[in-house]
A and B are shown apart, each in its own frame.
Chain A
Amino acid sequence: MTRWLAGRLLATLGTALAAFALVFLLLRAVPGDPVDIMLGERAAATEREALRGALGLDRPWPLALARDLAGLTRGDLGTSLWLRRPVAELVAERIGPTVALTLASLGLAWALALPLGVRAGWRPDSRLDRWSGRAAGLLHAIPSFALGPLLLWLVAVRLEWLPLGGYGSWSALVLPALTLGTGMAGFSLRLVRRQTAEARASTHVAAARARGAPEGRLRRLHALRPGLGPVVTLVGLQMGALLSGVVVVETVFRWPGLGRLLVQGVLARDYPLVQGLTVVFTAIVVLANLLADLVVAALDPRVRKVGG
């Protein structure tokens, strides 16, 4: 188990470094001079030279890449051109709000998807099943930057129940978390429903029913628990989509997290900042997948045996 975990952590680091190298190479492969794009063509020569040095454009790319990768392994994510501060420092400041938003929306999504999905899957083709299926399809399809403004208009402007945006109170968290969690809720609801419906028809549930296990226990223990493994794995794989949503939702609600920082960095053409944030986002995605695998192993003893 320890060796397996160490191997996975190493692979995580490798993927994050490879993602950095990818963005690094894309920046150089693109036609035109990145310095022109970042500073504009009328910038002073000294400023251009300084930027060339900072980006490593003044040396052959393999050397520049090696320098940056070596920095990464020491925890140096580069220095933002726009804010003139180390990217690692900025990440430390901004990661809290992003984690809070992500966890809140995952919590909301699961609070909706688990009970509803299990009930719907337990009675296929019931009215609840049909309606929750339709709702899930709709929730999954509405893009967050369409839903966010709609919710803002309805809840904050028309009904005046919640603030328009900002950060620091529980009420400010509700709308962003709802916006971000909706897609995940629709996605998870459908998965939980399918898993439950499959488990319900399986022989181990029939056997437990024949032994006289009560319905509630059957649903919770015999149908839900073995079915959750694939759900957790797929939710882990959806982490990239969730973080894409974070970027948009934080911008809509002016939420001071990593996603908003990224958009500001992109608009300011601050490439070191964008590169550094790419590593952080990628590491989060890969770590989430690792975490999902660990949860699956905890849920299902069969996986643990194979995993060693």
Chain B
Amino acid sequence: MNRAALAVLGFVVLAALWSFATAPAAVDVTQALQAPGRGHWLGTDPIGRPVAALLAGGAATALIVGGGATLFAFVAGGSLGLWAGIRGGWTDSLVMRLSDVILAVPGLLLALALAAILPPGPVSLAFAIGFAGWPGFARLARAETRVVAGSSFVEAARLAGLPEARIWRRHVWPSVRGALLIQAAFALAGAITVESSLAFLGLGDPAGASWGALLAEGMRYLRSAPWLILAPAVALSATVLALQRLAEDASL
């Protein structure tokens, strides 16, 4: 396992937990736009909140919204894909054509359109992001299911007279699961990126902190307060890179 990647993710989780345990960052306009240094080790934002606390809040949002989106895509896409792989025929065609259409629409565009029309909040965001993500899981689950369903150990189980439900649960699903979990790590990296993109573009959760919202704020103070973009840019890139590394290591 890649230790650096695990350390980064562990740090992100701890930061998120810390932000839950403490009160939201207090506004203090006398401390506005302080450079990193004594007292505020990552500096402060235009209304005097410490960037470190905002970053931790952003970690919590990234994990909740990104995790929720990935979970939705995993469950919806995984079960649709399994179902298509098992049933075949027109069920299979229907699920695959639908996923073709969704895959043809750029993912961020679909999430933007949904986020704009849903009531603001973390649940809506998770759904908007996950909706664009389920076809990836569905295609993978379907392909894996078809390979496994045609293999000799499944045939042997069937010849042994095992009930169909048990064959799927005990023989097919465990073989399909691994590939889906690796896909979930990649999807989580993507979902965290989209969550921050939406916040950056002005469609995040107005009540919550987000690395993307912090970056958007920092864009307006590029000259006077570059620390506002440096901290979230590093946090986001490191998290995405760590997740991709872990997924790649696991897929070898």
Contact = CB atoms under 8 A, between A and B. Distances in A.
Is chain B found bound to chain A in the same assembly? yes
Interface of A: 15-16, 18-19, 22-23, 26-27, 30-32, 34, 37, 137-138, 140-143, 145-147, 149-150, 152-153, 156-157, 164, 240-241, 243-244, 247-248, 251-252, 262-263, 266-267, 269, 271, 274, 277-278, 281-282, 285-286
A278 B200 contact: no
A251 to B, nearest CB: 6
B101 A22 contact: yes
A263 B111 CA distance: 12
A252 B219 contact: yes
Contact of B112 (A140, A156, A266): A266
B109 A157 contact: no
Q: State the majority secondary structure of interface residues on B.
A: helix
Contact of A137 (B103, B114, B245): B245
B101 A18 contact: yes
A15 B240 contact: no
Nearest to B189: A141
B197 interface: yes
Given A18-B101, A149-B218, A267 B202 contact: yes
Q: Which of A146, A157, A248 has the most CB of B within 10 A?
A: A146
B66 interface: no
Given A266-B203, A281-B106, A30 B117 contact: yes
Nearest to A30: B117
11 contacts: A22-B105, A26-B113, A137-B245, A142-B241, A143-B196, A143-B236, A145-B197, A153-B230, A157-B223, A267-B203, A285-B104
Nearest to A158: B226
B100 interface: yes
Given A30-B114, A142-B233, A271-B117, 4 more contacts: A22-B101, A149-B233, A240-B103, A274-B112
